[in-house]
Structure 1
């Protein structure tokens, strides 16, 4: 089963990640993508923090596809377990 779209969260400046969620049926799965991964996807040097949410929305389909792949592979991290996406996850 692939994940369904959840909520777009907010950019967490201290950790340099964009938080979001995906839904596994009725269970919410916490996810995050690093700012460097989003910049790599767009081939830009550095996006300003106040533009991260807009950047996430532009890239959302690709980000969520990658999160679904990691979910199906059981690649969870942290406590509580969630999905964390890095530049490495988007390389073929």
Structure 2
């Protein structure tokens, strides 16, 4: 949490941040804010319903799609629901 608060790239949180998890009922929501600069971690915004949001640094999800050229999941380790490569193919890649 301290690392997230010290992250200089996030001066304010845009209200347009959307949950990156596949469609789900209840539970927490997570919006990707950016790369932390540390290998294998990213800065996320976490919130529940309309409650206050918090910045968290989370490790990247290590799971990749099956096959030799399997696309990596763009979410965080231990996320609920589906991996990003399991969603519809028209989804934008996590690098955009």
TM-score (norm 2): 0.34
Higher helix share: 1
Find the structure with the greater CA-based Rg: 2
The higher-RCO structure (CA 8 Å, 6+ apart) is 1
Higher strand share: 1
